[in-house]
Amino acid sequence: MPSVKISQLPEVSATSGTERFLVIQGGVSKQVLLNKLFNGLTSNQSFNFNVQTNDFNITNNAINLVTVKGNTTNNVGIFNNNPLSKLHVGGSCQIGTSATISSMVTTPAVVPAIYISPYGLVRNSSEIPLDTDTTLISISTSTAYNLNDGINGQTKTVILYDISNGATASISTSHSLGFSYINLSVVGSSVVLKFVFVSFMMTLLLHKDSKYFGLQI
């Protein structure tokens, strides 16, 4: 039988699983079908790929199923061949049996917010409590808030944590100095208010008490 190079053999365009390979098992030459080639793998065996330089891709025709960037980023993409973060999903992502995330976009705060503990989260409520230093507001409709008097020297921080449907949070106080109301309409926007109790003498024996929530500079 004349020798034939592998490159001269007919090319298979698609495998059926019934192709046969030569294997050596226990020093004996045997054959194995393609669809049974990996049947002997157990749970403590695995494939290892070194992708320090080159990318590793699993594709289905032109669809990128999984991509591992083989460079310093080591980012992983699912349905995305150019992952921009450690895990970049090019489509919807389901967590558990019901929660689904699709096309999620986060908006950075205009000014970086510092969340001070303790804080409270208020969802679609018209009341801002005074029992915490910081209140995060989450609204889906425009809401008017009135901040009641605090105690002398108390500082209150209000941060617009989440907003939708073009809503606006309008904040006024029972007693104000230098402003009538404050509007928060962009995620991350915030205001710091300080309550000051002022007592001043009208006559030698008559005093008038005034209370103010003023903007802190």
Q: Which residues pair with 9 in a beta bridge?
A: none
Quick one: what percent of the chain has pLDDT higher than 90? 2
Report the range of poorest mean pLDDT among 49-53, 77-81, 91-95, 130-134: 49-53
Place of tokens 């073009």: 166
Instruction: For residue 137, name the pLDDT band (cuts at 50, 70, 90).
Output: confident
Q: Residue 180's Cα: distance from chain center in Å?
A: 36
pLDDT digits (tens, 9 = 90+) for 26-78: 999 999 888 887 777 666 666 666 666 677 888 887 787 888 887 767 888 88
Q: Which residues pair with 39 in a beta bridge?
A: none
194's CB contacts (< 8 A; 6+ apart) are 153, 154, 155, 156, 213, 214, 215, 216
Instruction: For residue 112, name the pLDDT band (cuts at 50, 70, 90).
Output: very low
3-state secondary structure of 7: helix
Show the tokens assigned to 52: 């320090």
Residue-range domain boundaries for the chain: 56-101, 119-215
182's CB contacts (< 8 A; 6+ apart) are 170, 171, 172, 191
58's CB contacts (< 8 A; 6+ apart) are 64, 65, 66, 67
Query: 182 with 170: CB under 8 angstroms?
Result: yes
| For residues 157-174, average pLDDT | 85
- Taking the alpha carbons at both ends of the chain, their separation in whole angstroms is 95
Query: 71 with 60: CB under 8 angstroms?
Result: no
**The total number of residues written for the chain in this structure:** 217
- DSSP state for residue 34 in the 8-state scheme: G
pLDDT of residue 8: 86
Q: Considering the domain 119-215, what is its CATH architecture? A: Sandwich (2.60)
| For residues 72-99, average pLDDT | 79
| For residues 197-212, average pLDDT | 49
Predicted confidence (pLDDT) at residue 104 exceeds the cutoff of 70: no
pTM over 0.85: no
pLDDT of residue 43: 63
